[in-house]
Amino acid sequence: MYLKDFLAQEKTDKNLAEVILFLSSQAQDVKKGFLAAARNAIADEKTKNMYGEEQMALDKYADGIFINGLKKTRLVRSIATEEQDHIIEIENPKNDFGIVIDPLDGSSLIDVNLCVGTIIGICKGSVLDAGKDMIAAMYILYGPLTTLTVSAGSGVHEFAMDEAGEFFLRQRDIRIPEGKIYAPGALRKDYLPAHAQWIARLEAAGYKLRFSGSFVADVHQILHKGGVFTYPGFAGKEKGKLRLLFEANPMGKIITDAGGATSNGKTAILSVKPEKIDQRTPVYIGGKKEIASIETFMRER
Ligand code: AHG
Ligand code: MN
Ligand code: MN
- pLDDT per residue over 48-101, tens digit each? 443 344 444 899 999 999 999 999 999 999 999 999 999 999 999 999 999 999
Residue ranges of the chain that CATH labels 3.30.540.10: 3-171
- Give strand pairing partners of 116: 142
Q: How far is the CA of 59 from the centre of ligand 3 (A)?
A: 6
Sequence-distant (6+) residues with CB within 8 A of 103 are 30, 59, 62, 63, 65, 66, 81, 82, 83, 118
pTM: 0.95
User: Residue 57: its pLDDT value, please?
Assistant: 82
CATH architecture under which domain 181-300 falls: 3-Layer(aba) Sandwich (3.40)
Whether 235 shows a pLDDT value over 70: the answer reads yes
Domain at 3-171, CATH homologous superfamily: Fructose-1,6-Bisphosphatase, subunit A, domain 1 (3.30.540.10)
Whether 275 shows a pLDDT value over 80: the answer reads yes
Q: How far is the CA of 24 from the centre of ligand 1 (A)?
A: 23
User: Residue 15: its pLDDT value, please?
Assistant: 98
Q: Which ligand is nearest to the CA of 240?
A: 1
Whether 301 shows a pLDDT value over 90: the answer reads no
Q: How far is the CA of 8 from the centre of ligand 2 (A)?
A: 31
Write the residue with the smallest CA distance to atom 11 of ligand 1. Answer: 215
Contact 222, 183 (CB under 8 A): yes
Predicted confidence (pLDDT) per residue in 157-184, tens digit: 999 999 999 999 999 999 999 999 999 9
Mutate to test the pocket of ligand 1, among 56, 63, 108, 187 (most ligand atoms within 8 A of CB): 108
Residue ranges of the chain that CATH labels 3.40.190.80: 181-300
Cα gap 138→253, rounded to integer Å: 9
